[in-house]
Chain A
Amino acid sequence: MSLSVKHLLGIKELNTQDIETIFRTADNFKQVLQRPIKKVPTLRDTTIANIFFENSTRTRISFELAEKRLSADTINFSASGSSVSKGETLIDTVNNILAMKVDMVVMRHSASGAPWFLSRHINASIINAGDGTNEHPTQALLDAYSMRERLGDLKGKRIAIIGDIMHSRVALSNIFCLTKLGAEVTVSGPPTLIPKHIESLGVKVQYDVKKALQWCDVANVLRIQLERQHKPLFSSLREYALYYGINKSMLDSLEKEIVIMHPGPINRGVELNSDVADSDRSIILDQVENGVAVRMAVIYLLSGKSEALD
């Protein structure tokens, strides 16, 4: 009755049933989070290590809160100020943490595929909290969960993913998750930020952002990831904002109301204007709220698996 996987490495490896199970469990946790006592004793015998080799605010806090709401013990590790700077390898670092009887690992790493590599060498369950430009599965789950909360069943719904598709692990995980749930997905943005052959993932490409907005029910707007651009892929942020940024007057000119999402952190005035981000159309803060419930569901559903291995 639980998930078909032992780790949550990527949405690619989940089946539709798994995603539905996570959503149904998240519904229950969402209810727990609305009670006066927002905590359940479920995982009081579980210890979880949050290992972040890359910066994070939202994801790390959200995971930590999810773990605490489940009564798990948590330890936090960030690469800066650790022995990683002394040259310790990933496996050594993680094995040393696991030797202290840790049951589950939540990991973010700048190298794509790092959680897969780790899963071949350790026994504990791993949850990928973002690996390089590859996947960010819990973000995609909470995005789809938030869309579903607004629109109902996602089958046949039209979702536009707009912005830096090339460097975005949120984009890839979103594409896998939404297509598995039967939604139609279009990616949009400057041609230099959209990978070639992305149509092979079952999505359409629309370079004109206005047309993409006119087509969709939901626009998931992504952050421009300057830190991952090793050579300039558009001439300036100002130009990007002018041609691809989303503002209120642009949305007002559409013939319908659409829902606006963003995984954060927002570059205000670049991909999204404040008059949109803070408007009724935006469900950005719902995404953050749902993030805790969805992560609680993932942790809970994977928690049985680490024990089974010993």
Chain B
Amino acid sequence: MNREEFDINQELEQMRQDYANLKERFDKQQIINEQLIQNAMKKDARRLFLSKKTVPVGIALTILAVILSRVQGMAWWLTLSLVLFGVLVFPAVYWVYQGVREEEIYNGDILSTTETLRRFKKRYIVLEAGICLYFFAFVVAATLFMTSMDISAELMWRRGVLTALLCVGTLALEYYFARRLLNACDDIIGRLKMKDE
């Protein structure tokens, strides 16, 4: 054993000793109090994922919107776009949340949990991009349908450009905030798979 190796082994042994002392100190502390336990058993974990109620509530709202649009005598294309939104978005939401069970995800090992989180976040961004595209198409279609109702070409363009900017801005913001999480996930996965691949 050379001098350098001896030093690092000594260092690690010192770390182990320091850790054992630290654990001993923590073990002697009360740490847990009644309120903490009660809170844990009553409170919800930070919502990482969509509530299970979101999809049924969303479907119910879409049906209600369709009924209202008919009662209010709105144009058929508006009703159809609502139905189309429901038909497209709910399977997409199911796809995003497929295999992600909040109660169980943190019970998994670090690698599989990180992979699940990464997959979920990427799919979530795709879903959001889809919704933005739909919104853009909706505004463009609405503008086209309304051309007969005395709307100038300039206003049409302005509306289209504004919507496109809104969509791109939303996506850019989502990507900006998701990037940190995705990068951290990539780093963890990369390090852990370094040897196994």
Question: Do these two chains interact?
Answer: no
Interface set of B (CB-CB < 8 Å, partner A): none
